[in-house]
Amino acid sequence: MTLKHELLAAAQAAQAAARQVAGLSSTQKDQILKDMARNLTISSDTILKANKKDIALAKSSGLNSALIDRLTLNDSRIADMANSLLEIAKLHDPVGEVIRAWRIPNGLWIHKVRSNIGVIAIIYESRPNVTSDCIGLCFKSSNSVILKGGSEAINSNRAIYKALNSVLEAHNLPEGVINFIDSTDRAAIDELLKLDKYIDVVIPRGGESLIRKVVKASRIPVIKHYKGICHVYVDEWADLNMAQNICFNAKTQRPGVCNAMESMLVHKDVAARFLPGMLKKFDLAGVQIRGCEMTKKIAKSIHVKHATEKDYRTEYLDLILSVKVVDSLDQAVQHINEYGSHHSDSIITENYDNALKFLRQVDSACVYVNASTRFTDGNQFGMGAEIGISTDKLHARGPMALEELTTYKYMVFGNGQIRE
């Protein structure tokens, strides 16, 4: 069978399976998820053996240490994957939930009810734990899933898929609930993205280049997250000790992730009091500063490189920070909406009106008052495992978990009504 026909068969099987999964009860799904977690643990030796092959290939290919770390599995990480499936089983099942119900004058009862999307294709890189998380979330939300992982993790992903799919076989569920594209051919992605008759949505998880490639090639709606250029704005009414703690956490706690602060804005009236201590703390932590002229003047002994237009538009994912002194809250909001990526942005202020204005006018998926941007995460939000963070506005925005993997339909009950 050619690659093209293999992908078509997988998509057709996924579409048929989604209709059957939609008929499972929450109790049935939760038991299967628990069995998946158990079998993942039982299969850990097989999975780790497969992962060693991927690591050896990655090292011989010259992948950097950060990517190899993301690729690496061990007993602890497999236990975390199993626990994630157990946590998904505990979560409230949104499928079938009545969002709203009302009766119209002719007696019709109209119910707006959450339902599964159908077939979700997920294209991702490097991290094998994404395989089990996506399977768990899609299954709990009554969707079938097509998985296309990166070539660097092919052996690990295959072993995880087999461990979880065998549980579905034991429960007599149809082929196609989980579909694993067992090919490292890059053409597989292009072919997959043509199957809009069968696949309802595509979610790419990886670097910006992957996401842009998927968006450009896809005939299917894509939920995307290009990058995280996140800001913290220190307002003129900020508690400066709080501001220092939040800014330091947002930048340094884990700089290589999408919800880390990449740009810090400071109101001119507090800049001279706030920046010297803040910049010194960043300097001691190894953070490179790229700042405006006012920042450079205030910094004095701390080395500050001149910030270019490009710097304010860059997701560093490293210990590098752009800094700008602004004249007003309005200028801060304007800067964030112009240079940000609509991911996560925070204001530090004790002024309620300023906080409210920031929340209303900053056009980002997650907007904070007096808190670190590092909290933008499905788990941190209490949503359980997440399938990604969307910077789109339709149909999901921000951390995506079970509810974001559903759509809705209208169920209408009558007793013979006809339209005149």
Q: Flag whether 286 is in a domain.
A: yes
Domain that residue 331 falls in: 230-375
CA 12 to chain centre: 27
Q: Flag whether 385 is in a domain.
A: no
d(C-alpha 239, C-alpha 71), whole Å: 41
Q: Flag whether 154 is in a domain.
A: yes
Look up the pTM and report it: 0.91
CATH (domain of 281): 3.40.309.10
Half-sphere exposure of 44 (CA within 13 A, CB side): 14
Q: What was the pLDDT predicted at 125?
A: 87
Whether residues 8 and 141 share a domain: the answer is yes
Helix axes 154-170, 44-60, angle to 10 degrees: 160
Whether residues 196 and 265 share a domain: the answer is no
Whether residues 253 and 291 share a domain: the answer is yes
Q: Give Cβ neighbours of residue 260 (< 8 Å, ≥ 6 apart).
A: 228, 230, 250, 251, 253, 254, 317, 373, 374
Mean pLDDT per 10-residue interval, the chain, length 420 residues: 92 96 97 98 98 96 86 96 95 97 98 98 92 96 97 97 98 96 92 98 90 95 92 98 98 94 98 98 98 96 96 96 98 98 98 98 98 95 87 92 96 96
Cβ neighbour number for residue 27 with a 10 Å cutoff:
9
Q: Flag whether 388 is in a domain.
A: no
d(C-alpha 353, C-alpha 236), whole Å: 13
Nearest to 180 by CA among 204, 153, 162, 206: 162
Q: Is 108 left (phi over 0), alpha (psi -120 to 50) or beta?
A: beta
CATH (domain of 99): 3.40.605.10
Q: Flag whether 309 is in a domain.
A: yes
Whether residues 155 and 220 share a domain: the answer is yes
Q: Flag whether 311 is in a domain.
A: yes
Q: Flag whether 65 is in a domain.
A: yes
Number of domains in the chain: 2
Whether residues 187 and 240 share a domain: the answer is no
What are the φ/ψ torsions at residue 152 (nearest 5 degrees)? -70, -20
Q: Flag whether 380 is in a domain.
A: no
For residue 55, give Cα distances in angstroms to 43, 64, 81, 199, 227: 18, 11, 19, 32, 27
What are the φ/ψ torsions at residue 144 (nearest 5 degrees)? -90, 160
What are the φ/ψ torsions at residue 220 (nearest 5 degrees)? -105, 145
Edge-to-edge order in the sheet of strand 201-205: 178-180, 144-148, 119-124, 201-205
Whether residues 241 and 132 share a domain: the answer is no
d(C-alpha 77, C-alpha 232), whole Å: 32
Whether residues 172 and 251 share a domain: the answer is no
For residue 39, give Cα distances in angstroms to 78, 137, 373: 11, 17, 36
Whether residues 199 and 246 share a domain: the answer is no
Is-contact 335 363, C-beta < 8 A?
no
Is-contact 176 198, C-beta < 8 A?
no
Whether residues 194 and 91 share a domain: the answer is yes
DSSP state letters, 317-367 = -SSEEEEEEESSHHHHHHHHHHHS-SSEEEEE-S-HHHHHHHHHH--SSEE
Using only C-alpha atoms, the chain has a radius of gyration, in whole angstroms, of 24
Whether residues 251 and 136 share a domain: the answer is no
Whether residues 60 and 125 share a domain: the answer is yes
Nearest to 207 by CA among 150, 277, 290, 268: 150
Q: What was the pLDDT predicted at 271?
A: 98
Whether residues 89 and 208 share a domain: the answer is yes
Nearest to 278 by CA among 299, 301, 300, 260: 299
**What percentage of the chain's residues is helix, strand, coil (to nearest 5)?**
45, 20, 35
